[in-house]
Structure 1
């Protein structure tokens, strides 16, 4: 049985009757979908109703939706890589940009295959359920369950301290790790495991969401990339190292770090040159040694140093304290995550496997040598700094303040932000990583509040990473209140100037003056006092005309008087003369 959708909110799919604004989520019924995404109330496959756009990235968009046959809310994922494809606004079909056909077809095939695999795995407890796959309009749509939950990030922020204990984290996250293992066995690498893509469902269990094809989760690809700062592995940024199961291991390790420590890990690209990622002392004392060991190994920067498989990481996180104690490992109050493989473990490479045994005495010697080297380097730096200051003070060295040397900055292409919600733009990791935004809010009667009107840098222009882009954002329609009192009886010119300053457009309407009212003064107006109107609304002022002056009527003279008999006689004479031909 089909459902009547006229009274449904297109944001939460709840019945709101005749209300214009949803009492549950605040969405307004007259809100328009931003272009070039599917219009609200589009129906796909004669079954799925398209609602509000929820999010978009390099390979497509996700909409709120409704299954018209089951009456259940769903999410609709559309393959729509905006930078290599466009939409026909009349047919809503997706067509490929010139010379982009090959990459589009490859990505569409990857998208379709990934979601078909996920549909076959929908029985996994920690995985979002895929209900249907549709093909049409030159693209593909994946229909998934709509999880009425919160992200893991929100879940942790609702905790007073922002983190939870290992005892609580273990039953929450270990099913996610097991599901990751099954995904890997099916040839699916997520590449976006983060607190934003893990959703805590109403049953208290986590579901993995946020799937995208690999080019979206890799920098320097032909699609716009979406990498989560602190959770993306080093190899995803386009540097050396293939992606694989170990890429998700890094993301899971980063999620575990955020869950147990309460802060986001430092981005992998920063850690390469200055690794300051630590397990603070109070956590190192509370967490089991084997958990710290698993965390350290999962967060190794270089792929070859990192835990390679889910099975290996699960074994490390499930080890008993006595088993770890048998390895002879000692943990200091502050544990640097950069330590490479501090315990006996398997390092699984692509071609061979070797067992390495940790040697405490050798490690202590290396730490001592490393500390001595660091002290020596610091001493040299201090001496050189003092020498530089002395030479600078004496004028031997001069610094030219007008000369700056910068390394060749990496460039990125500026996306089209116009017509998109400002909140979604700044929530997008790719955007915030590559650009700095300045927000300028202005009133606008044609653009919905919160949406971008214009941008200071042209679309598709290549600019250095970190470039500042000024976005003009709509504050919606500006409202002004028609004043109470003070208008009637004033001169039209004074009232016009006053109302114009307030933002009204003023028109003059002349009122006939029969009672000797003061001419050119306001008698009334077309708007209601004390009521809010959109800025620019026209108000008609009714203004007294000049007083009317009329001459007294004159009585007709006897010569002007004409009787009915005179008129009849005159008419008869005319008829007779006409008959005679005169």
Structure 2
């Protein structure tokens, strides 16, 4: 028999839900709004529904109780108001006429998201999903309920901004959690102070999970976007979001922590970008730190910092940050860094040459008068000293493009250096050859055994194309992201033979792409066609993340026969 607990004090209720709780005195009458589950509803014979909390485009949220363990939980019910006509007398959700397929596919997206999160959590920095169950023609996700406060509430209690170091420490577990999400092929799309919890005991955790449709403007659901933290690509269903979308939000939260101001909302920035530098708002924010935030919050996803590990490294180490500043007028470019480095090298080389020639000149000048033994001895000591100083200087050789195994590893040319090798995939550099080095070629080193760090190519990263035809857009995105495959998405006309919002076909260079084909993740972009609603308008291109002009230049595909 199901144990019925008071949703306020967790004590057993022998007489059910009516009157007042005999233990805490709280009213057990149902005050949840019409359409929501009544107070005391039992789900799966495991959970008791408590007070209604809130609603969004995905559904309704309630306080709840896990009956067996007698602990509080959060319960989220899939209930898309734009697709539903309410409940039947038995409590089952009723989709609107003509919206049955979209209701079902959106429900699948909701269920798949929370099943993936249940399998992924517990994890550092992520609120745990405890259970996912089906009932009432819908899906319920059960989440842990930690005691604490939101980051929004915490900031309202503070009298000063956080320092960059404090901000990094506070957000580190959240960033680590987002990295785990991305490895699993999931994108949060709703990172903001409202969705970061600070438990009484423990580190910060990210919550506020939602489906792609919930966090995309103009989608079939009532969208939920957080002004100042939502990336610009989230404001249109015709644009594509990715890992860089969460990078934008994490940088925006960091900006809020160190400046005390919410960033200018993305739509306003696209009209006139008036986002001020974090350094100009708060002098205690280092210039490099402010530049990293600006780089991670660029409006163009293709020019934005792409991954959370990059953001974490750049916010921690100024040298890493400088190496990443590749694009943008408000950033220090690599060309400028190289130019400055070359100026320094030439100056040092000139000084070196002068120091080598100086003793000879002094000897010629002193040859006319016969030097005293003392002066000759002094000149000899100076010459010896200069020679000793200059012999310690080594110029870093150029290793880029050389084969590590045959030209570097056992070569006598580089015995004076300690070469540290790491590997990475590259579509441009031949396998086994050096992609990059640090320090740059030509840099002067004074250490006895200078260290040169090199990255050696493993060749192209080849992965098999998964079979995603028939998958929902959200699930297709998760699979492609997990494999690292680059892609653009286009909405195609649907004559009724496809499920709306699902993958109809995939193409590469205009040709049908069969599952199982090996793809170079760094050198190809797959076109994924998403079926629109029946009798949809002509094809609308979704701008790819890596090529801002490709969408407008690409021809519209012919509607499927």
Shorter-chain TM range is: 0.5 to 0.7
Please give the per-residue CA displacement for 1:224-277, whole angstroms capped at 9, x wherever unaligned.
000001111111111764210111111111111111110111100001121111
Contact 2:56 2:222 in 1 (8 A): yes
> Distance between the aligned counterparts of 1:179 and 1:81, measured in 2?
27
Give the match for residue 5 of structure 1: 5
Tell me if structure 2 keeps the 8 A contact 1:66–1:73. Answer: yes
Q: Does 1:127 align with 2:123?
A: no
SS of the residue corresponding to residue 181 of structure 1 reads: helix
Q: Which residue of 2 aligns with 1:272?
A: 270
How is 1:147-546 mapped onto 2 (pairs within 5 angstroms)? 147-161=146-160, 163-238=161-236, 241-279=239-277, 281=279, 285-319=283-317, 321=318, 339-344=329-334
Supply the distance in 1 between the matched residues of 2:23 and 2:57 (Cα, whole angstroms). Answer: 33
**Contact kept? 2:217, 2:236, Cα under 8 Å:** yes
Distance 1:13 1:223, change over 3 A: farther
- Choose 1 or 2 for highest CA Rg: 1
Report what 2:549 is aligned to: none
Unaligned runs of 5+ in 2: 336-423, 430-434, 437-561
Tell me the secondary structure at the aligned position of residue 196 of structure 1.
Answer: helix
**Residues 428-453 of structure 1: per-residue CA shift (max 9 Å, x gap):** xxxxxxxxxxxxxxxxxxxxxxxxxx
Partners of 2:112 and 2:156 lie apart in 1 by 35
Where 1:135 maps in the other structure, the secondary structure is: strand
Change (3 A) 1:327 1:141: closer
Q: CA deviation at 1:31?
A: 5.0
Task: Answer whether contact 2:258 2:282 (CA < 8 A) is retained.
Answer: no
Asked whether 1:141 is paired with 2:140, we answer yes
Question: Structure 1 residues 302 and 206, CA, compared in 2 at 3 Å: closer, same or farther?
Answer: same
CA distance in 2, matches of 1:111, 1:239: 18
* CA–CA separation in structure 1 for the residues paired with 2:30 and 2:186: 37
Q: Distance in 2 between matches of 1:133 and 1:280?
A: 41
- Paired residues of 1:305 and 1:340 also in contact (CA < 8 A): no
What secondary structure, in the 3-state scheme, does the structure 2 residue paired with 1:61 have? strand
**SS of corresponding position for 1:141:** strand
Query: Within 1, Cα distance between the matches of 2:234 and 2:321?
Result: 32
Residue 143 to residue 352, structure 1, CA distance change in 2 (3 Å): farther
Which deviates further from its counterpart, 278-287 or 35-44? 278-287
**Equivalent position of 1:56 in the other structure:** 55
Distance 1:308 1:102 in 2: 35
Q: Structure 1 CA distance, aligned partners of 2:192 and 2:275?
A: 17
Question: Do 2:278 and 2:290's aligned partners in 1 also have CA atoms closer than 8 Å?
Answer: no
Q: Distance in 2 between matches of 1:70 and 1:325?
A: 51
In structure 2, the partner of 1:106 is 105
C-alpha displacement at 1:118, in angstroms? 0.5
Cα deviation per residue 1:381-428 (whole Å; 9 max; x = unaligned)? xxxxxxxxxxxxxxxxxxxxxxxxxxxxxxxxxxxxxxxxxxxxxxxx
Q: Tell me how far apart the structure 2 counterparts of residues 33 and 187 of structure 1 sit (CA, whole Å).
A: 36
SS of alignment partner, residue 200 of structure 1 = strand
The whole-number CA distance in structure 2 between the counterparts of 1:338 and 1:154 is: 35
> 2 CA distance for matches of 1:158 and 1:16?
38
Q: Could you say if the C-alpha distance between residues 235 and 19 of structure 1 is closer, same or farther in structure 2, counting changes exceeding 3 Å?
A: same
Please give the per-residue CA displacement for 1:442-483, whole angstroms capped at 9, x wherever unaligned.
Answer: xxxxxxxxxxxxxxxxxxxxxxxxxxxxxxxxxxxxxxxxxx
Deviation at 1:141, TM superposition (A): 0.8
1:132 positional shift: 1.0
* CA distance in structure 1 between the partners assigned to 2:211 and 2:276 by the alignment: 32
Residue in 1 that maps onto 2:46? 47
- 1:27-84 deviations in Å (ceiling 9; x for gaps): 7544511021111110000110001111111111111000111101111111111110
- Tell me the number of residue pairs that the alignment of Structure 1 and Structure 2 aligns: 342
Deviation above 6 Å: which 4+ runs of structure 1? 14-19, 21-24, 325-329, 350-355
User: CA 1:216–1:94 in 2, change beyond 3 Å: closer, same or farther?
Assistant: same
User: For residues 253 and 230 of structure 2, what CA distance do their matches in structure 1 show?
Assistant: 11
Note the residue ranges of structure 1 that are not aligned, 5 or more in a row. Answer: 330-336, 356-582
